[in-house]
Amino acid sequence: MERKTITTQPIEGQKPGTSGLRKKTKVFMKPHYLENFVQAVWQAIDGVAGKTLVLGGDGRYFNDRAAQVILRMAAAGGARKVIVGQDALLSTPAASNLIRKRGADGGLIMSASHNPGGIHEDFGIKYNIANGGPAPAEITDKIYAATETLTSYDILETQDVDISTPGSFDLAGMEVEVVDPVADYLELMSQLFDFNALRGLFQSGFTMRFDAMHAITGPYATAVLENALGAAAGTVVNGTPSPDFGGGHPDPNPTWAKTLMDEMMGPDAPDFGAASDGDGDRNMIVGRGIYVTPSDSLAVLAANAHLAPGYSGGLKGVARSMPTSRALDRVAEARGLACYETPTGWKFFGNLLDAGRATLCGEESAGTGSDHVREKDGLWAVLLWLSVLAASGKSVADILAAHWAEFGRNYYSRHDYEAVESTAAERLMQALRDQLPDLPGQTVAGLTVALADEFAYDDPVDGSRAEGQGIRVMFDDGARVVFRLSGTGTVGATLRVYLERLENDPALQQLDAQEALAPVIAAAEALAGIGERTGRVGPDVMT
């Protein structure tokens, strides 16, 4: 085994986005591409020598190859130890848990989350810090800067190591510990939730479908729901992770989880349906005959979290990303809880969770989580919902109706225009930016603008500032539209339009969301000229 220093050159475009570096798999497979980025991570953390890292990924194409490279580079860099999931598998929340539980210095997660996988699809890698959460901008900026200047990387020359069975071995002076990817996560869940009560729920005949979308949550969901909680065999479907997610798009929303949606809206629907994404941090919640928007789910969980043992002492505060609906704010207001509004991306919650300012947080993009880890957690959200259903004895539809009656309903939808030509998308955003000063007081498609700005966030814990986080237009009737360009897409630009309207009248709370939002949709079009500027007749995805 020889430690080699390989000469390389900076590779353009290795700038981490909303959640690490994501590119087409073939880009990652190009000579030096992965190696350069990993070396840049080592540089950004002042070297990997003497450190302990966690390593795992969602099993997508290239996951196994990338893991071997990272292990060899960690060994070459003098790392003390790498804790790696068996077969290089770990869901994102399980990786976050392992980093925290083992007191590791950080971890590398190989995933492109909800993006499709395969040789022609996407791959990604991100660095998480010692609190288990995604690296903050201070570190990702350093990583990017290092990618622009590096001239060499260090790697061990050796055969592939066998990480297919739990146990420890030595790799050129570095310990490699292969762990069961599920065990520690299962233990954590059993501490937060009343497994006896949940077993009782399933024993009483409660039925559920969990669509793992051929992704990493399959083994976790099977272990927790079927094996530990006694849900019927077959509760978990598409439960075996595959490198291309069965050719599907592992994004748990009504468009990509259509089979589950159809089942839940059909005559023989189970009581409860859920799905998760490629790396297991997102969730979709569906009741019999009713879809729960992620924003509503977050608000319902905030209002009811005390029903689970892990949260019986109440919440310290709550947080949501700016585009997420303000349903959460209404719960926070009613319960006297602090409520924080952060930019898009889980990394912004880390400081609030660490400082004990927030217990629960979430994003409209199907991400919900708590201070149990520093990532969002799909299966955790499902278990919290199950806890609420078990304790209340109500159906999902009844819980939502009661919630809206008490707090009002924030009708909500996100419209995505994918793979838009980048210049057209930038121009659209710039045109909106240019209009901002003149908007207040103007009437747009019948709605009067109360406030319009480009969102910036001052972190109350470390004082850092994040600018350019989306354009928001607030109307005087409580409606809102937000425009943002995605930071995770890999082709052209993805324009996200977030639409929201508040309805306090219970008699008007059961409308179809798109219908209820029609005036806001019209205002968004009038403000941004989406059709004309992008050439699209409608969104590709509506959540």
**How near is the Cβ of 282 to ligand G1P at its closest, in Å?**
7
| Selected binder of Zn ion within 226, 281, 371, 459 (CB under 5 A) | 281
How far apart, in whole angstroms, are the C-alpha atoms of residue 273 and residue 286? 5
Tokens representing residue 9 in the block: 């050159």
* 81-89 and 52-57 strand pairing: parallel
The residue among 222 and 368 lying less far from ligand G1P, judged by its C-beta, is 368
Segment contacting Zn ion (CB under 5 A): 113-121, 428-436, 466-474, 534-542?
113-121
Return the bridge partners of 106, or none: 53, 129
369's CB contacts (< 8 A; 6+ apart) are: 93, 281, 346, 349, 360, 361, 362, 375, 376, 377, 380, 381
Q: How far is the CB of 539 from ligand G1P (least distance, A)?
A: 14
The answer to the question of residue 326 lying near ligand G1P (CB under 6 A) is no
**Nearest distance in Å: CB 359, Zn ion:** 21
Q: How many residues bind Zn ion (CB under 5 A)?
A: 5
Q: Select the residue interacting with ligand G1P from 58, 226, 363, 503 (CB under 6 A).
A: 363
Closest to 429 measured CA to CA, from 467, 472, 483: 483
Residue 189 CB, shortest distance to ligand G1P, in Å, is: 21
Residue from 279, 296, 371, 416 binding Zn ion (CB under 5 A): 279
Among 36, 39, 97, 113, binds ligand G1P (CB under 6 A): 113
Any contact of residue 377 with ligand G1P (CB under 6 A)? no
Round to whole Å and give the CA distance between 1 and 154: 13
Per CB under 6 A, the segment of 166-174, 217-225, 268-276, 483-491 that binds ligand G1P is: 483-491
Q: Which stretch binds ligand G1P (CB under 6 A): 166-174, 242-250, 392-400, 480-488?
A: 480-488
Q: What tokens were used for 183?
A: 């065990």
- In the complex with ligand G1P, which residue's Cβ is closer, 200 or 487? 487
CB atoms < 10 A from the CB of 406, how many? Answer: 12
- Cα separation, 60 vs 117, in Å, equals 5
Binding test (CB under 6 A) with ligand G1P, winner from 111, 486, 490, 543 = 486
Told to judge if 113 belongs to the known catalytic residues of this protein, a careful annotator would answer: yes
What is the C-alpha to C-alpha distance for residues 291 and 272, in angstroms, rounded to an integer? Answer: 10
- The answer to whether the beta carbons of residues 534 and 423 sit under 8 Å apart is no
Q: Tokens 């990303």 correspond to what residue?
A: 321
Which among 91, 96, 111, 113 is annotated as catalytic? 113
Closest contact distance (angstroms) between CB of 114 and Zn ion is: 5
Give the 3-state DSSP-derived string for 263-276, with helices as H, strands as E and coil as C.
Answer: HHHCCCCCCEEEEE
Query: If binding is defined by CB under 5 A, does position 222 make contact with Zn ion?
Result: no
| Interface with ligand G1P, residue 344, by CB under 6 A | yes
What's the CA gap between 379 and 373, in Å, rounded?
12
Point out the residue whose Cβ comes nearest to Zn ion: 113
**What element of type H or E holds 530?**
helix 530-534
Nearby residues of 336 by Cβ (< 8 Å), 6 or more positions away:
none
Is-contact 262 277, C-beta < 8 A?
Answer: no
Q: Residue 393 has which token pair?
A: 């004895």
CB of 376 vs Zn ion, minimal distance in Å: 7
For residue 387, the partner it binds in ligand G1P, Zn ion, none, with Cβ less than 5 to 8 A by kind, is none
Q: Which of 345, 369, 378, 470 lies at the binding interface for ligand G1P (CB under 6 A)?
A: 345
CB 84 within 8 A of CB 56: yes
Q: Which does 279 bind (CB under 5 to 8 A by kind): Zn ion, ligand G1P, none?
A: Zn ion
Q: Which is nearer to ligand G1P, 253 or 321 (CB)?
A: 321
By CB under 6 A, residue 487 contacts ligand G1P: yes
Phi then psi for residue 64, to 5 deg, are -70, -40
- Using CB under 6 A, which residues numbered 127 to 156 contact ligand G1P? none
**17 vs 408 by CB, closer to ligand G1P:** 17
Among 96, 113, 365, 368, binds Zn ion (CB under 5 A): 113
Give CA torsion, residues 163, 168, 169, 175, to 10 deg.
100
- Which of 365, 413, 534, 543 is close enough to bind ligand G1P by CB under 6 A? 365
- How are the residues of the chain apportioned to helix, strand and coil, as percentages rounded to the nearest 5? 35, 25, 35
Q: Is residue 19 part of the contact set for ligand G1P (CB under 6 A)?
A: yes
**Closer by beta carbon to ligand G1P, 106 or else 133:** 133
Site stretch for ligand G1P (CB under 6 A), options 41-49, 242-250, 362-370, 383-391: 362-370
Query: Hey, is 185 helix, strand or coil?
Result: helix
Residue 521 parent element (H or E): helix 518-528
Residue numbers of the site for ligand G1P (CB under 6 A)?
A: 18-19, 113, 321, 344-346, 363, 365, 367, 486-489, 496
Contact residues for Zn ion, defined by CB under 5 A: 113, 277, 279, 281-282
Which residues does the annotation mark as catalytic? 113
